[in-house]
Amino acid sequence: MFSFKRLKHSRVARNAATSYFAFFSTAACGFISIPVAVAYLSIEQIGLWAVVNSIVTYLIWMDLGVGNATGRKMADAVAAKDQQEIDKWWTATRVALIIQGLMMIVVGTLCIPLFLSAFQIQSEMRGDALSLLVGSIIIAGFSMPLRGVPGLMTAQERFHWIPLGQGITPWVQLGTFLLMLRAGFGIKSYIASMAATHLVTWIYYYILIRSSDQKPGWNRGGFEKRRFKSLFGFSLNISLIGLIEALLTSMPNLILARFGGLASVPLYSFTQRASSMLTSLVRRTYHAFYPQILRLHVSGRKAEFKRKHQLVGHLMIALGLFAAGGILGTNQLIVSLLAGPKFYAGDVATTWFALAIIITPLSGLFESLLQFSGSMGKSALVGLLKLVIGAAAAFVCYDRFGIPGVAAVFAVLPLVYGSYGYFRGAKGCGFQPGELSSSVVVWGTAVVGLVLVAGWGMSQVPEPTWQIAVGKRTLFMPGLWHTLIAGSVCTIGAALGLRTLLALRRA
């Protein structure tokens, strides 16, 4: 029993360690790539790549969730050590993904003229746009079968190898990108870096598959109508929700490129970069407690489940408040350091990005109640409603308020699905919404109000006048009032976090 526990805990530790390694590695490469791109490319070229990347992201969801469903479909056969069944499911999923990859190449290629006309690509950039689109579509299409390997590793309880690889490949991409830029290939360097990344991933995944205790192989028995029906019946709901989230994630880039021009895209994405990283970090706080909270729910310990859910919610809010204060105080410095002052979208946009650090994880907390309850309810319909509201509101707000308007829409939009989770998820878990999460809502509302007031106050005081020249770049240091306001927000967040950690320890 002791060795089993130690093994189980070591797996959890490995998964956590490699997950954070992948996160910080990706974040570091993302930050480093900003000054590299700014040094070699024009602002329009950077915007073009961001938009092309968004388009390819949509096309990747033509796998219809098969990649994500692979692990669940193979899990029973792996657990039973049924090699024949493993081979059949591996064959079915590989065939489906290969066909879908070829379809992606065809559909993507046919959509290229629509893309060029919709975003009014200038004649001098059309050659670069065509190269990016064709190269990205072909590489992503031929790499479609890779999307099932993480599922196989999950079924074999070897998932820690996936984030380990995900932490290495960004450095391959960054290194190739830099070398090609220095060689004078310009924006086409993105294609070379993408090809190098996928090649390394192919090799890495092949080694993982061949080193499996139960090596999957091909079996004609996988060509069964009932098997494909079962596969797509399970995967389509996953795919729809994932596609909606992908659309919402990249929608700001498409709206800005269409109505503000390619040059407006980096202003939004560079100003948001630090806050999006911190948002992901805060969300991982809940992931760390997820198995424990799920176990409390499954075992029927309602009082402990309720208490743990509330305390973790309070901790996320406190961490979000601390991070939001940091963004309010330092975001202009970060953007001017990485890219230059002309890429900063302003204090108002930064306020909304800071609010997203609190609102997005908090909404995710309520969404998880749906998973605990064992029923996603009408999640797909709510997701479609969220998509429609987001698109309409973003168009209107950009027209009236520019980039800050778009930032505001996507900061508060997670509340649509979060609200559904708050009401429907609580009932599914055997609680009334107010009974389970009211204190979390009160805390969240209070800190959102605090960040709004702090951001408004910072936008009313004069711009920071303390500037430092570093090489050819001017860094905008936070002024006295900015420092005091942001520091106060951070202090309150730290105090709330310490209080909640002590309560968690007692619980």
Q: How would residue 1 be classed by pLDDT, with cut points 50, 70 and 90?
A: very low
Neighbours of 51 (CB within 10 A): 24
Neighbouring-strand partners of residue 467: 476
Sign of the Cα pseudo-torsion (48, 49, 54, 57, in order): positive
Please name the amino acid found at residue 188. Answer: K
DSSP 464: P
CA atoms within 13 A on the CB side of 187: 24
Q: How would residue 5 be classed by pLDDT, with cut points 50, 70 and 90?
A: very low
Whole-model pTM? 0.76
Dist. CA 136–CA 133, nearest whole Å: 5
Over the stretch 427-443, which tens digit does the pLDDT of each residue have? 877 888 778 888 888 99
Q: How would residue 357 be classed by pLDDT, with cut points 50, 70 and 90?
A: very high
Q: HEC states along 289-352?
A: HHHHHHHHHHCCCHHHHHHHHHHHHHHHHHHHHHHHHHHHHHHHHHHHHHCCHHHCCCHHHHHH
**Which residue, 477, 421, 415, is CA-closest to 445?**
415
**Which residue, 190, 213, 198, 356, is CA-closest to 272?**
356
Over the stretch 80-115, which tens digit does the pLDDT of each residue have? 788 888 888 888 888 888 888 888 888 888 888 877
